[in-house]
Structure 1
Amino acid sequence: MTKLALKVLVHARELLDQAKFGEAHEIIANFENVESISPEDQLSALLIKARIYNYQVQYEKYIKIYEHAYQMSQDLGLVSESVEALIGKARIAFTGDLNKASTYVKDAERRLNSIADDPSTSMLRSGLLQIKSWILFLKANYNGAAESAQECLKLTKKVKLGNKLDLARAYSLLGWINTYQRNYTKALDYAMKSLECNKELNFGAAIAGNYSLIARIYRFEGDYDQALEYCKQSLSIKELINRNRLDVLQTLAQIYYLKSELNRALKYQQQAITLAEESNIKDQLIQTLFGMSYYYRVIGKHNLTKEYAESSLKLSEKWGSVLEKADALMILINTYIDEGSREKANHYFSRLSELYDQTKDKGDIDISVSFLLSKAYMLKSSTRMRDRVEAQALYKELIDRTSEYALIFSLSSLCDLLLEELSMHNDPNILDEIIPLITKSLEMAEKAHNYFWLAETKLLQAKLALIQMNIEEAKRLMVQAQRIADLHGLNLLAWGISSELDKLLDQVDIWDTIKKKKGPIAERIKLASTNGVLERIQGKRAVEPPESVDEQSTVLLILSEGGVLVFSYPFSNEWKIDEDLFSSFLSAFTSFSTEFFSKGLDRAKFGDDMMLMESISSFSFCYLFKGQTYLAKQKLIKFIEEMQNNSSLWQSLEDHYEASQVLELKESPQLESLITEIFPSNS
């Protein structure tokens, strides 16, 4: 290599390490046009150009160049360069060809071991460990991926070897791996370190990729607001590459699915499918098609479920994606079972069984969860008791697996089977089997930060309390379930749970009658309506908004400690003229407030009305109405917030409280205006 060639190539590498890809590419392009360069220099330039395209994630370009570079290195007998080219060729893994990528890695390892004494091979070893880790990650072998990624990071951190580009990539890889290992604190730490490196380099595309990863971590942690914010930041960067844009779109779809906003989830998932098709990103296309089939199954549109699952299955077979093929077969089996098409389900299960037999002895691919879940679901749908007993045994086995989906589906399906058995045999001892399952489900949902699962399981626990005739406990658990949903922005689910509690309060007399006559367990299970919540947990039904009911305001009261009236606003004529209503309510206030604050409730029935109470400072705000509590509570909270934010109104309230006087409406036109603005008129 001439001094001039050495100087040019070193400068190009320096620019590359600073993420100045345009300048580096221009230097290499000019260098390649020089007629007198040697084949060795030409190969060096080719490998630098491939690295540029690699960092810019232009798969087709850099794989083509690496193939050319590999052939040149073979012709020239250069081992190090052939290893580098093989490592580059192995990045074909990102187009979905994991088997071919693994072959390239093994070949690179063999060649690298032949020059193990060469001290200049550290960079090659780092690159080899990185792509090996990615391949293991894409095969869902997260422990193996983590081991290789940690070795890669150690090598990259060496002062003479590492640069910020490679360091950022190593951190990002560990961020992805730890995300799927559910080590979210570690994952976020690695993602932030990668982001810091990329910001120092002003590497826009990588920064957008970091935001995409951080959004996914927050989504897994159940912090949907933060996840949405990082999705927004990622999409705002013009250098965002299509693969990372796909990650963002799928994260958005998942968030809105968990928030029960299925139309928005479908919109983002369709955008992801279109982008994956246009960009020919095969692995992501398979995943997006499967995701769409899953969402349509939740909605109950079985024809579309099957259509998208079949598309995912065909592409999985074409490109050798075994895990995705198993998932597509599983959803087709389950959907045909739900439709009652057992012959079709058997056909797909035979294909899944064959695939399972082919892979069960291979350590790098494990489809046992998909196989066992499908088998258990088929047995569960059988009319034969022997099959249903076997299904129970399989679900118990699956509960010990690490897959979150397997846990959710198995625990809820096992509860479903046991509740059916309980209904048939009226044997309360079966409850002793169900209760630990609910407890485990709550623990696992909290550990997984899956707040949809947690809130729904808490609702199921409330329904189990009803079956056991613990009505007060059921009320308390429903309030807890709604609070979990509210806290994590699951508004539609919170509304649905609130309606369940309203329904229970309306049915208290029915439950009391069943309790007195010691009604059979089957009658209690039917009245408790456990099917809906179990099907939602299993992904077989969407959360549906409760039927809208016109709200009729009755009276708004502000009371001080001990139930002393500070302000009242009757909406109905009955409360305006009937002083006995006021006095009966005030005399019952102490018992109501005890029920609210000692039992952790947020509502109660007063005659035909529902009553909400919120305690702020020295005051209790009470709102009596007819209608849906969830929407009414939002109005009451808004009213209280507006009162607190208006210093003159709040001061007037405190002045009347201290003077033991009732605040008259004529004294505060602002207050009347606020009430009529927020609460519905009954006129």
Structure 2
Amino acid sequence: MFPNRSENFTHIKNLISEGKFDTALHELGKISSDAQIRTPERLKYQLLEVEIYNETGKYDQALKLSEDILNNSQKLEDSLQMLDAIIAKAVALSHLGEYGKSLAYIKLGERVLEKLKNTEPNVLFIRKATLNYEKGFIFEVEEDLKNSLDSYLQSLSLRRELDDRQGLVNSNNAIARVYFKMGDIVRALLIFQQSMSIAREIEDDKAEADILNNICNIYLWKGDFGPALEHCLQSLALSEEIDNNELIANALFSKSLIYNHLGEFDRSIKNLERCLSTREDMNDKVGISETLNALSYVLFMKGELNQATNYLNQGQEILQTLESNLGIDDILETLGMILYQRGEYEQAIEQLIKCMELREDQKNKKELASAIFWLILVNIENNTLEQAQDYLKKMQKIIEKQNNLISNLKYRLASALILKKSNNLDILRKARNIFNEIVSGEMIDIGLSSIALFNLSELYLKQMHLSNNFDDMVNINTMIEKHYALAELIESHTMFAENIWLKANVSLIQQKLPEAKLFMDQAEQITEEKGLRRLGMKVSRAIDIIKSHQEKTKTFPIKKEIINLEQETEELNGDVIRMIDKRTVDIPKLQAEEPVLLIIVYEGGVTVYSQKFSQKEMIDEMFVGGFLTAIDAFMHQTFATGGSIERIQHQEYTLLLKIENPLLFCYVFKGQSFTAIQKLDAIIKEIKKSTSIWQALTNNLGVELGITDNELIEELANKVFLSED
């Protein structure tokens, strides 16, 4: 078919670039069976075979073959082939979790590269760019983000010089990932969108699938699950089309995380099981451990603690065989959560502190808040309230910088849980308001919503006992019904046991001791079977109290009283309760919302209206208008439909953006806000109500408004954004 092997080599290279790996392997198989081919040329084709194995996640095969090539090229004293074999081996080792060994081979490759001074510069630049990229990857997984970024930027510079557009996309994606981990969401999204354009232009399906999954993870972190799932499904479909196991596994993992937040745990488990199988086929040890930990978390949420522990132990054993700390923090967090539900609070605190310290060392701010949240919960349950409050202050400092919706929700929930420990009705009202806000708001994490709903129900019961007013049974029963509906939805044994506990408490208020005892027996059976010792201890104490009261009623049958389980057990933690009631509960407040700027941009990028709310903020509106235009261009597919609100963090500012064709509205503020979205919706609604203003904005084709129209909008904006209400 080919007049010479040079054309055959080029043909196979093209097949690899197009992602046609099976066809390329078939062609390579025909060449390997040719007994007449000489060793140097055979090695050249074997390097292509290694490239395919690394591309398709067959890292064990890549490692074995690259070792053979390295040995043979050393015998032939072919330094360039030796360098290529070193690079291929480093890639395989890093994906097998052998980061120390991989880095050692990268350094060896750099030394070999230095000796190839007489080789054509472009040939060396390609190899140098790859070595820098692989070095950046190792620094990235080890959370050394500064060195990772430096290495990726060096690879980008070399690939730009070579006009290697495919390599440019890969380096750009890696740089965007690092910026995302550093918390610079705006820059990460911009770079991903730039890369997406190039990837589609050069028809690089692998890069496009990877970018789609990375964008999915950004939306997932922001709590915007609709766009997250949309990008994830696109990534999965494209990954399956090109048959790339690594990308398939990554997309399946992201999909499972989305279903976790939505409470669709059975769907999550199915995706994780498929992800696990794919990663086992690839012998991706780090990925296998990550997936086992994720399965453990889902089973924890369903109240299957024994199964959760088994998966967690398997994941931990795999990580102990590797050189890196990668993933250990996630294992420690899940272990801490399981120990918490088992009622082993001291051990839980120990594991969660280790997790927190690891994430502090890694500068992993995105996940640090989660570890601190669980530390607060365990300390509350352990009646070490002062430590819980200290952790809450620590959490406050972290989330003020990152402004993540889920972290903010965890902070508010943790605050309410501390307040709930009080016996002061005024303090309890504050807790109740926070719980109500969470329960009645958008459900962005079903696990957190379930915690809020259970504690709100308990709080209703507590307030009834403290006020000695038992007339509000309708509300408590409504809460219990909502809690049960959520338990049924996610099929959580923890929630089923909690719900029975709540029903038993209602029966006690109604002085139905036999019914309450029956409920408690049912709850005890679930907690014992599923290892839920935290709730089980409460249930066991309650059963003893009920039995004691039943004995009393036999002795004094006339006397009837309402049993308050919390009051009965207060001797165990009375000092803690009294400490809260005697002094003001120290709940640090997040920085309040501070309106900064309102901008209206006409399609095409012209700022038609801008208003500063604070003269203290030195902001160039035209600069921000241009910035928004760039965002609009790079995120066209997100905004194309209009109507949805996009939240972007830029340094200490939060930007809320919404398209109302042909206009882009942006509200910029500092601090924390749970009403900013409603305010942006309100100003748009008010402007659209005024026909004259709306026509002036939309019919002037981007021309700035006149004085009268400006004054009208300013009046509306002041009313919406500066109102004390």
Candidates 268, 272, 277, aligned match of 2:275: 272
Going from structure 1 to structure 2, the CA distance change for 1:214 and 1:24 (only over 3 Å counts) comes to: same
* Alignment partner, residue 74 of structure 2: 74
Asked whether the equivalents of residues 334 and 377 of structure 1 are also in contact (C-alpha less than 8 Å), the reply is: no
Going from structure 1 to structure 2, the CA distance change for 1:440 and 1:260 (only over 3 Å counts) comes to: farther
* Alignment partner, residue 158 of structure 2: 155
Could you tell me how far apart the structure 2 residues matched to 1:291 and 1:23 are? Answer: 36
The Cα of 1:12 is off from its aligned counterpart by: 5.0
The Cα of 1:6 is off from its aligned counterpart by: 4.8
Paired amino acid for 1:165: Q
1:581-620 alpha-carbon deviations (Å, 9 max, x no partner): xxxxxxxxxxxxxxxxxxxxxxxxxxxxxxxxxxxxxxxx
The reply to whether residue 239 of structure 1 matches residue 201 of structure 2 is no
Asked whether the equivalents of residues 375 and 391 of structure 2 are also in contact (C-alpha less than 8 Å), the reply is: no
Could you tell me how far apart the structure 1 residues matched to 2:232 and 2:137 are? Answer: 23
The reply to whether residue 63 of structure 1 matches residue 63 of structure 2 is yes
Asked whether the equivalents of residues 293 and 308 of structure 1 are also in contact (C-alpha less than 8 Å), the reply is: yes
Could you tell me how far apart the structure 2 residues matched to 1:498 and 1:314 are? Answer: 36
1:410-425 equivalent positions in 2, closer than 5 A: 410=372, 412-414=374-376, 417=379
Candidates 374, 377, 381, aligned match of 2:351: 374
Asked whether the equivalents of residues 17 and 165 of structure 1 are also in contact (C-alpha less than 8 Å), the reply is: no
* Alignment partner, residue 285 of structure 1: 288
The reply to whether residue 42 of structure 1 matches residue 42 of structure 2 is yes
The Cα of 1:150 is off from its aligned counterpart by: 1.3
Asked whether the equivalents of residues 455 and 485 of structure 1 are also in contact (C-alpha less than 8 Å), the reply is: no
Asked whether the equivalents of residues 297 and 305 of structure 1 are also in contact (C-alpha less than 8 Å), the reply is: yes
Asked whether the equivalents of residues 236 and 252 of structure 2 are also in contact (C-alpha less than 8 Å), the reply is: no
The Cα of 1:513 is off from its aligned counterpart by: 6.7
Paired amino acid for 2:209: A
Going from structure 1 to structure 2, the CA distance change for 1:320 and 1:20 (only over 3 Å counts) comes to: same
1:80-95 equivalent positions in 2, closer than 5 A: 80-92=80-92, 93-95=94-96
Paired amino acid for 1:228: L
Paired amino acid for 1:374: Q
Asked whether the equivalents of residues 59 and 283 of structure 2 are also in contact (C-alpha less than 8 Å), the reply is: no
1:95-114 alpha-carbon deviations (Å, 9 max, x no partner): 22223322321221221222
Asked whether the equivalents of residues 455 and 484 of structure 1 are also in contact (C-alpha less than 8 Å), the reply is: no
* Alignment partner, residue 187 of structure 1: 188
Asked whether the equivalents of residues 102 and 135 of structure 1 are also in contact (C-alpha less than 8 Å), the reply is: yes
CA RMSD of aligned residues (A): 4.6
The Cα of 1:123 is off from its aligned counterpart by: 0.7
Q: SS at 1:182's partner residue?
A: coil
Paired amino acid for 2:223: G
* Alignment partner, residue 137 of structure 1: 140
Asked whether the equivalents of residues 86 and 106 of structure 2 are also in contact (C-alpha less than 8 Å), the reply is: yes
The reply to whether residue 457 of structure 1 matches residue 411 of structure 2 is yes
Q: SS at 2:66's partner residue?
A: helix
The Cα of 1:313 is off from its aligned counterpart by: 2.6
Could you tell me how far apart the structure 2 residues matched to 1:9 and 1:314 are? Answer: 43
Could you tell me how far apart the structure 1 residues matched to 2:451 and 2:398 are? Answer: 23
Going from structure 1 to structure 2, the CA distance change for 1:58 and 1:491 (only over 3 Å counts) comes to: closer
The reply to whether residue 407 of structure 1 matches residue 408 of structure 2 is no
Report sequence identity in percent. Answer: 19
Unaligned 5+ segments in structure 2 are 470-482, 484-491, 504-725
The Cα of 1:125 is off from its aligned counterpart by: 0.4
Could you tell me how far apart the structure 2 residues matched to 1:125 and 1:224 are? Answer: 39
Going from structure 1 to structure 2, the CA distance change for 1:27 and 1:276 (only over 3 Å counts) comes to: closer
* Alignment partner, residue 591 of structure 2: none
Could you tell me how far apart the structure 2 residues matched to 1:162 and 1:59 are? Answer: 29
Asked whether the equivalents of residues 212 and 232 of structure 2 are also in contact (C-alpha less than 8 Å), the reply is: yes
The Cα of 1:279 is off from its aligned counterpart by: 4.2
1:123-159 alpha-carbon deviations (Å, 9 max, x no partner): 110111111122222333333222211111111111x
Paired amino acid for 1:74: Q
Asked whether the equivalents of residues 300 and 338 of structure 2 are also in contact (C-alpha less than 8 Å), the reply is: yes
Going from structure 1 to structure 2, the CA distance change for 1:122 and 1:324 (only over 3 Å counts) comes to: same
* Alignment partner, residue 313 of structure 1: 316
The Cα of 1:203 is off from its aligned counterpart by: 3.8
Asked whether the equivalents of residues 401 and 407 of structure 1 are also in contact (C-alpha less than 8 Å), the reply is: no
1:205-216 equivalent positions in 2, closer than 5 A: 205-216=206-217
Q: SS at 2:183's partner residue?
A: coil
Deviates more, 1:464-473 or 1:298-307: 464-473
The Cα of 1:82 is off from its aligned counterpart by: 0.9
1:290-305 equivalent positions in 2, closer than 5 A: 290-305=293-308
Could you tell me how far apart the structure 2 residues matched to 1:470 and 1:338 are? Answer: 27
Could you tell me how far apart the structure 1 residues matched to 2:466 and 2:351 are? Answer: 38
Paired amino acid for 2:415: Q
The reply to whether residue 255 of structure 1 matches residue 294 of structure 2 is no
Asked whether the equivalents of residues 319 and 328 of structure 2 are also in contact (C-alpha less than 8 Å), the reply is: yes
The reply to whether residue 441 of structure 1 matches residue 395 of structure 2 is yes
Going from structure 1 to structure 2, the CA distance change for 1:244 and 1:316 (only over 3 Å counts) comes to: same
* Alignment partner, residue 101 of structure 1: 102
* Alignment partner, residue 668 of structure 2: none
Going from structure 1 to structure 2, the CA distance change for 1:512 and 1:181 (only over 3 Å counts) comes to: same
1:641-672 alpha-carbon deviations (Å, 9 max, x no partner): xxxxxxxxxxxxxxxxxxxxxxxxxxxxxxxx
Going from structure 1 to structure 2, the CA distance change for 1:21 and 1:280 (only over 3 Å counts) comes to: closer
The Cα of 1:465 is off from its aligned counterpart by: 5.5
Q: For the pair shown, which has the larger CA radius of gyration, 1 or 2?
A: 1
Asked whether the equivalents of residues 419 and 430 of structure 2 are also in contact (C-alpha less than 8 Å), the reply is: yes
The Cα of 1:304 is off from its aligned counterpart by: 1.7
Could you tell me how far apart the structure 2 residues matched to 1:15 and 1:404 are? Answer: 40
1:257-314 alpha-carbon deviations (Å, 9 max, x no partner): 2334434333333333333334433221121112222333444433223311221233
Could you tell me how far apart the structure 1 residues matched to 2:8 and 2:264 are? Answer: 56
Going from structure 1 to structure 2, the CA distance change for 1:163 and 1:30 (only over 3 Å counts) comes to: farther
The Cα of 1:121 is off from its aligned counterpart by: 1.0
* Alignment partner, residue 568 of structure 2: none
Paired amino acid for 1:458: R
The Cα of 1:88 is off from its aligned counterpart by: 0.4
Higher RCO (CA-CA < 8 Å; seq separation 6+): 2
Going from structure 1 to structure 2, the CA distance change for 1:448 and 1:259 (only over 3 Å counts) comes to: farther
Could you tell me how far apart the structure 2 residues matched to 1:209 and 1:227 are? Answer: 14
The Cα of 1:505 is off from its aligned counterpart by: 7.0
Could you tell me how far apart the structure 1 residues matched to 2:380 and 2:133 are? Answer: 47
How many residues in Structure 1 have an aligned counterpart in Structure 2? Answer: 473
* Alignment partner, residue 351 of structure 1: none
Q: SS at 1:236's partner residue?
A: helix
* Alignment partner, residue 175 of structure 2: 174
Asked whether the equivalents of residues 9 and 45 of structure 2 are also in contact (C-alpha less than 8 Å), the reply is: yes
* Alignment partner, residue 679 of structure 1: none
The reply to whether residue 477 of structure 1 matches residue 478 of structure 2 is no
The Cα of 1:169 is off from its aligned counterpart by: 2.0
Going from structure 1 to structure 2, the CA distance change for 1:473 and 1:417 (only over 3 Å counts) comes to: closer
1:486-526 alpha-carbon deviations (Å, 9 max, x no partner): 4x4x4675577467667767876666679xxxxxxxxxxxx
Unaligned 5+ segments in structure 1 are 346-369, 379-393, 424-429, 515-531, 533-539, 550-683
Q: SS at 1:140's partner residue?
A: coil
Asked whether the equivalents of residues 171 and 194 of structure 1 are also in contact (C-alpha less than 8 Å), the reply is: yes
Asked whether the equivalents of residues 57 and 282 of structure 2 are also in contact (C-alpha less than 8 Å), the reply is: no
